[in-house]
A and B are shown apart, each in its own frame.
Chain A
Amino acid sequence: MKSAAFEYARASSVAEVCDWLRDGDDDIKLIAGGQSLVPMMAMRLTRPARLIDINEIDALKFVAVEKDAVRTGACTRQCVIANDNSLAKAVPLIRQALEWVGHVQTRNRGTIGGSLAHADPAAELPLVAQILNAQLVLRSFAGTRTVAANDFFEGPLATATRADECLEEIRWPVWNETRTGSAFTEVSRRHGDFALVAAAAQVSLDAGGKCTRASFGLAGGGYIPMTFPKLAARLLGTILDDEVVQSVVNDAAAEFDPGGDLHANAEYRRQLAAVLATRMLRAACEDARKRR
């Protein structure tokens, strides 16, 4: 399990990365934390001719909490994100999700942008990005563009990132409604494994307990992590009673089209999707009720 040979270049700035990526060469790969890329290279499932290391670019490592969004540099380590209290206050769902991501050693090295750019359909952070419709800033030699998460994920391990682009920054929308709650859970075989199914939700309530804003999503065994804006809209104006949650979740589980593998067949995954989505909407609602 030794990687095939490649050339290595350590980038010192995003501009340098963009310059190297200019030709849009498919044989070039960026490496951030490498927690998914390196095993794939060791198994020779991927064999880039050239590896550009973005780990030493300080400009890609930051957390900036602003009124409407939390901005995170793409190469910020997952452990840094998880330990940032102001971030957790502004967008609690990220920390809630990170509790399910890998282990201490992988979070110390793994980055927030790397997880999104890798786009494993069972990974936790892409699901959060989908639910919040995070904005992803992609940079190339020609400039930057911002892609909404809902447009970013195109398939398993496939994103809208062009071969000449580098993910630079992720903007996580902050819901400023006072009574906003969120929850994340998943079922996996073992703790720290990729989810068989992950579910998360975020809702805001008005003073009367009626839902004013809602988003939820599912991941695992699917094509991409999914969020259901149209179904979530049906929750608005309700008190998130069992009946409406159940109806919305049933439709979501039907829309969520998970595949089967040796750990869980499609039918079991659909059941998990319904159960976990229900639980997370309830939990997010509970969480919102506690806040004022």
Chain B
Amino acid sequence: MNEKLYPVTVEVNGKPRSTQVPARLSLVDWLREELRLTGTHVGCEHGICGACSIMLDGEPVRSCLMFAVQADGHKITTVEGLGGTDGKLSVLQDSFCEAHGLQCGYCTPGMLIASQALLNTTPDPSEAQIRDAIGGNLCRCTGYRQIVDAVKLAATRLAAQKK
């Protein structure tokens, strides 16, 4: 085993993380297997299902379609970083619980990342905008209805908070 290792330093959920990785290690495998941030899931490894969605420098991307070494010097937020540092659920996370916007929980981290990214730029999204935002994330349990409801609920609550 003499695969060359490359140093990577990434700010993950606000904390700098540094390891040595083989070039071919995908970002999602690095997060899961090396950093043990297992909230981000692997569904297809070819960029269709969206279960591995994370935020890279604030924008949602598929972490199965990046190599860990490419993330060097960037900032990443995973589902583990969506809640408050006090362990409290974010408004979106809480809304997913309230509207039961999930069942098995496997696609959920990707759905949360995709819909949080939407809410960051579009505080009052229409149903069509919500569907478009989660359109790259497959869910087999919910038929998407309660996910759409959860995102709408979160938007309403966030708007009320701002008042």
Contacts and interface: CB of A to CB of B under 8 A. Distances in A.
Contacts of A191: 135
A192 B23 contact: no
Contacts of A109: 56, 61-62, 65-66
A28 to B, nearest CB: 13
Interface stretch (A97-105, A145-153, A258-266): A97-105
Given A34-B70, A39-B46, 5 more contacts: A8-B6, A55-B70, A104-B118, A104-B135, A108-B60
A38 B23 contact: no
A5 to B, nearest CB: 5
- Interface residue SS majority, chain B: mixed
Interface string A177-194: 000000000000001100
A35 to B, nearest CB: 6
Q: Which of B45, B65, B72, B132 has the most CB of A within 10 A?
A: B65
Contact of B136 (A34, A41, A106): A106
B24 A105 contact: no
B4 interface: yes
A94 to B, nearest CB: 19
A64 interface: no
Interface in A90-149: 102-106, 108-109
21 contacts: A2-B26, A7-B4, A10-B69, A34-B70, A35-B65, A38-B26, A39-B46, A39-B47, A43-B46, A51-B67, A56-B73, A79-B59, A103-B136, A104-B60, A104-B118, A104-B132, A104-B133, A108-B56, A109-B62, A192-B135, A192-B136
Interface string B114-134: 100110000000000000110
A104 B6 contact: no
Nearest to B52: A105
Contacts of B64: 38, 42
Contacts of B3: 5
Contacts of A53: 69-70
B27 to A, nearest CB: 10
B133 to A, nearest CB: 6
B66 A105 contact: no
B136 A104 contact: yes
B163 to A, nearest CB: 28
Interface string B93-123: 0000000000000000000001001100000
A207 interface: no
Interface in A48-81: 51, 53, 55-56, 79
A46 interface: no
Interface of A: 1-8, 10, 31, 34-35, 38-39, 41-43, 51, 53, 55-56, 79, 102-106, 108-109, 191-192
Give 4 nearest A-B pairs by CB, closest first. Answer: A103-B136, A8-B23, A39-B46, A1-B45
A7 B23 contact: yes
B132 A6 contact: no
Interface residues of B, number: 33
A39 B65 CA distance: 7
Contact of A105 (B22, B29, B62, B73): B62
B78 interface: no
A54 to B, nearest CB: 11
Nearest to A56: B73
Contacts of B22: 5
B6 A105 contact: no
A253 to B, nearest CB: 30
Given A51-B23, A191-B135, A106 B67 contact: no
A68 to B, nearest CB: 32
Given A35-B65, A109-B61, A109-B66, A103 B50 contact: yes
B53 to A, nearest CB: 6
A126 B74 CA distance: 30
Nearest to B62: A105
Contacts of B61: 105, 108-109
